[in-house]
Structure 1
Amino acid sequence: MNGTDIDPPDTPADTSDAADRERRYSAPALEKGLDILEFLSECRDPLSLQQIGDGVGRTKGEIFRMVSVLAQRGYIERLEGDDRFRVTDRLFRLGMNRPVNRSLIEIALPFMNAFAETTGYSCHLAVMSGTQIVVVARVESTSHIGFTVRIGYRQPLILTGSGHCLMAFMSARRRHGLYDELRRDDPWIDLDALDRTLDAIRAAGHVARPSGITEAVVDLSCPVTDRREGGAVAALTCPYLRTRQVPKGPDEILASLDEAARRISENFSLD
């Protein structure tokens, strides 16, 4: 048999070459900075240098210069009169500068304003970020009393009406890919029950459920879709709280919200 006709098996040298290539493309300083940003972004309270080091598995000396540079560049900030740090919204603002996000917000705001003026209720636009929602635009209530959330507000997908809306109206492939991430966050999550809930939402065409965050508030949410993406790219949500000043029922608000979401979808798909 002519040995030149058969590819030889991998040799230890081949494995060594692959490992060398992987090492060649590593960037320890960048990885250290990203570790710090990711860790701080998950922490509710500001942290000291020692706490940050413990959180990323490094000493204070190893992270001191990196923390200083991140603070100088505005990605984290030191509390005034304190030695603790917290992440800023600089990365969020960079993400919002992406053309697709700017386009979505610019298209959505006129319809969101029209919804608020017509109904007297506030609304916000949320997109998916990992296993969370993040609010990228909002319009406040035109009445003296209202309930709003700030831009940049984040919560787990499974706790919010916006999150349920985004999950329900994404493609089946994307949804089940997301389930793997949700299971990593919470190994005990009942994905079968979640799947049934999302199927029911998709059949209804909207979300109407008690808020998973605030008592007495009902999350009303409708999908903003893009045919190029094959599903929801955002959720238009109204935190509904019945008031005597604006005594409109949830069905009436949902009808207006659905119309606004549909108009945003149509214009975004044409953009």
Structure 2
Amino acid sequence: MDPPDSGAESAVADGGGADDKERRYSAPALEKGLDILEFLSECRDPQSLQQIGDGVGRTKGEIFRMVSVLAERGYIERTEGDDRFRVTDRLFRLGLNRPVNRSLVEIALPTMNAFAESTGYACHLAVPSGTQIAVIARVESTSHIGFTVRIGYRQPLILTGSGHCLMAFMSARRRHRLYEELRRDDPWIDLDALTQTLDAVRAAGHVRRPSGISEAVVDLSHPIVDGHEGGAVAALTCPYLRMRNTPQEPEAILEALAQAARRISDALSLD
């Protein structure tokens, strides 16, 4: 039998310890749902009800109704042929509907299309999401061959050109908070080495580095700077592959990318 599962908030009595002061209210049902979503978002493969329960420290009976509701609302989905579950992109799509992201995409897309038309190369727009990048817009190559990533693509900031660009040009305050998150994720991370890398990126004004994900791809990236924010809010990135039939040097692509990033930044600051 399921234990009583109330969605109502319960107040924590005053006069408790430090944890009580930091957390005055609890919503058990909401917390259970968030635990399930966070667990599934970190899993590469779909998970059974038993695996989800083990992952969030609850029994199958405790999570059964919550899993059913999350599936009905479209936040998770059951895979065909078995009773395993995985997260959908519903939460990501909700995030894209935030006015700041919607405005950024609307402003950037015409310039991104112009970049692809003039260079023949694909490009994408990435924003920080915790310690990862999230791609919120893309334009495919106008040639028959190209390399692109899908909207919703996520990777650790430290592995990607977009991530290095975002970290290098974001405000010092945001970078300090990010370093704390990176340290929590990996206590052994060499932040001194990362700082040297980001200093070099800032000195160059852009990112040009071999992809940390794909062989033969070179990440070319320029920051999208919001004057109101005081630092980079996104990275405009081109996955560069040298084409034999229509060779273009990376320097030429970088210059076109820089012009596109400046136009987007200027329009964003006026918005």
User: Could you state the TM-score of these two structures normalised by the residue count of structure 1?
Assistant: 0.92
> What runs of 5+ residues in structure 2 fail to find an aligned partner?
1-12
For residues 23-69 of structure 1, the C-alpha deviation after alignment (integer angstroms, 9 at most, x for no partner) is: 87210000000000011011111000000011101010000000000
Is 1:222 aligned to 2:228, yes or no?
no
Q: Paired residue for 2:7?
A: none
- For residue 58 of structure 1, give the secondary structure of its aligned residue in structure 2: coil
Stretch deviating more after TM superposition (30-39 or 172-181): 172-181
The alignment's C-alpha RMSD in Å is 1.6
Q: Paired residue for 1:63?
A: 63
> Displacement of 1:245 after TM fit?
2.6
CA distance, structure 2, for counterparts of residue 154 and residue 251 of structure 1: 27
Stretch deviating more after TM superposition (66-75 or 171-180): 171-180
Report how many residues are paired: 259
> Displacement of 1:255 after TM fit?
0.1
CA distance, structure 1, for counterparts of residue 247 and residue 118 of structure 2: 13
Tell me, yes or no, if the aligned pair for 1:120 and 1:246 is still in contact at 8 Å.
no
Tell me, yes or no, if the aligned pair for 2:170 and 2:231 is still in contact at 8 Å.
yes
1:19/1:132 Cα in 2 relative to 1: closer, same or farther (>3 Å)? closer
For residues 79-129 of structure 1, the C-alpha deviation after alignment (integer angstroms, 9 at most, x for no partner) is: 112110000000000000011111000000000000000000000000000
Tell me, yes or no, if the aligned pair for 1:125 and 1:237 is still in contact at 8 Å.
yes
> Displacement of 1:173 after TM fit?
1.9
CA distance, structure 2, for counterparts of residue 134 and residue 23 of structure 1: 30
Is 1:176 aligned to 2:183, yes or no?
no
- For residue 228 of structure 2, give the secondary structure of its aligned residue in structure 1: coil
User: Could you state the TM-score of these two structures normalised by the residue count of structure 2?
Assistant: 0.92
Q: Paired residue for 2:6?
A: none
Structure 1 letter corresponding to 2:140: E
Tell me, yes or no, if the aligned pair for 2:162 and 2:221 is still in contact at 8 Å.
yes
CA distance, structure 2, for counterparts of residue 65 and residue 111 of structure 1: 46
1:21/1:178 Cα in 2 relative to 1: closer, same or farther (>3 Å)? closer
Summarize the alignment of residues 1-271 of structure 1 with structure 2, pairs less than 5 Å apart. 15-16=15-16, 25-271=25-271
CA distance, structure 2, for counterparts of residue 22 and residue 190 of structure 1: 31
- For residue 15 of structure 1, give the secondary structure of its aligned residue in structure 2: coil
> Displacement of 1:184 after TM fit?
1.0
> Displacement of 1:21 after TM fit?
8.0
CA distance, structure 1, for counterparts of residue 177 and residue 95 of structure 2: 22
